[in-house]
Amino acid sequence: MSKIAEYKRLEAQLAEQLAALDKLKSDDKLQQEMEFETKLKGLLKEYGFNLQTVLDILDPDSASKSAIPVSRKSRVLKKYTNPHTGEVVETKGGNHKTINAWKSEYGAEQVKSWAQ
């Protein structure tokens, strides 16, 4: 594409965007929102509040919801009995040293069948 063609294309795009901007500037809804934003920023500055403080005042439940950590369900205690040695292991996790040793020696499916 030649430089002059690219220039004319960009100039046309700019003209379209400026027209859209002018149309938006005369929109009553935009004017109302801009006025609200200006007044709100003035009030925040006047009273020394930030936006989060205002949100906490308007909806106090939202602050307590975010402060409560989400916890996962506790793991179930599993008891494994090795029929070859009679050894009993109780664990909540799947990465137990003895269980892993049994799995490598007897196989994971075999050890899984030992769970009670």
Provide the percentage of residues in the chain whose pLDDT is more than 90.
Answer: 66
110 pLDDT band (50/70/90 cuts)?
very high
Same domain, yes or no: 24 and 63: yes
Expressed as residue numbers, the domain containing 95 is 78-112
Mean pLDDT over the full length of the chain? 89
Same domain, yes or no: 17 and 38: yes
Task: Please tell me what DSSP assigns to residue 116.
Answer: -
Model pLDDT, residue 29: 93
Average pLDDT of span 23-39? 93
What is the tally of structural domains in the chain?
Answer: 2
Angle between helices 51-58 and 60-67 (to 10 degrees): 100
Same domain, yes or no: 28 and 47: yes
- Residues 96/109, Cβ–Cβ less than 8 Å: no
Determine the straight-line distance between the first and last CA of the chain, rounded to whole angstroms.
Answer: 75
- Residues 77/91, Cβ–Cβ less than 8 Å: yes
Please state whether the predicted TM-score (pTM) of the whole model is above 0.75: no
Residue 73, in any domain of the structure: no
Radius of gyration for the alpha carbons in the chain, expressed in angstroms and rounded:
34
Q: Provide the token pair at 86.
A: 């009679």
How do residues 61-83 score in pLDDT, each as one tens digit? 876 565 566 788 888 899 999 99
Residue 57, in any domain of the structure: yes
Same domain, yes or no: 10 and 49: yes
Residue 13, in any domain of the structure: yes
